Structure 1
Amino acid sequence: MPIKTKRWCVPAEPDDGFRVLVCRYRPRGLPKAKETWNVWISDLAPSPDLFDAFYGKGRTPITLDVYRERYLQEMQAQREHISALADRVDKGETVTLLCSKDCILEQICHRTLLAQLIEAARRSRAPGVPTPP
């Protein structure tokens, strides 16, 4: 099953499976009844410092390469979350990673990097070793 990425405001589709909001902050002004995700894991988003550095808040913005490297470093502490999402995919469930409605450049968004980390976690497992129940 695939790992999909979308903005949270894109309507859910039947094949989205388990929808995970991976934003640092919950969308403002959105009533809980209108949430489009199953779970929110803010720790899978870039840290506020990394976000500020990328957008140049108070200083010269960091490059995309530096952003990627720092995000991947931050995600080392989130291996448990990443592994749990990889387990879902291994069991045949689609996982859809959701980011901000303002995030329109999917190719540079952390949700794309996160999808790659989940796939890497799946590939790194030894063949023949069962995944946890």
Structure 2
Amino acid sequence: MPLKTKRWCVPSEPDDGFRVLVCRYRPRGLPKAKETWDAWQSNLAPSPELFAAFYGKGRTPITLEAYRERYLQEMASQQEAITALARRVRQGETVTLLCSKDCILEQVCHRTILAGLIEAEAARMH
């Protein structure tokens, strides 16, 4: 299925299709003319509380497994947005999920978890 993940600062490629920024906050200091995405869906990013818990802001960081579980719980309320992206993927459109330029560990980034949710939803569609 045509679903990709990248950091927003990675230059777009012709096969990126519909590029969606899935960060809670828009990148600071970036003029609108230099945006590299077609849509911004902050509702698909971890909540500020979950982000703080994972990065240990003020306390011991939660585990990757706890982060993943809490993110999945948060995304349960975003089924409509996930289904809309899955529909695009199912119809053959490429969707590229974009995250922060500072997010270099793709395997622990929420965009990878989100991609799994979108792929699973697309597979369920007939």
TM bucket (normalised to shorter chain) is: over 0.9
Partner of 1:67: 67
TM-score for both structures, normalised by structure 2 = 0.98
Per the TM alignment, residue 122 of structure 1 is displaced from its structure 2 partner at its CA by 1.3
**Cα-to-partner distance string for 1:57-104 (whole Å, 9 max, x where unaligned):** 011100000000000000001000000000001111000000000000
- Structure 1 counterpart SS, 2:61: coil
1:55 & 1:2 partners in 2: Cα distance? 31
- By how many angstroms is 1:13 displaced? 0.1
* AA matched with 1:69: E
Q: Deviations over 1:91-133 (max 9, x none)?
A: 11000000000000000000000000001111223x4xxxxxx
Q: Calculate percent identity across the aligned residue pairs.
A: 79
Unaligned runs of 5+ in 1: 128-133
Q: Return the letter of the residue paired with 1:105.
A: L
Distance 2:52 2:2 in 1: 31
Q: SS in structure 2 opposite 1:71?
A: helix
Larger radius of gyration: 1
Aligned counterpart, 2:96: 96
Corresponding residue for 1:51? 51
TM normalised by structure 1 equals 0.93
Runs of 4+ that moved beyond 4 A: none
Tell me the equivalent position of 1:12: 12
Which blocks of at least 5 consecutive residues in structure 2 are unaligned? none
The answer to whether structure 1 residue 28 and structure 2 residue 28 are counterparts is yes
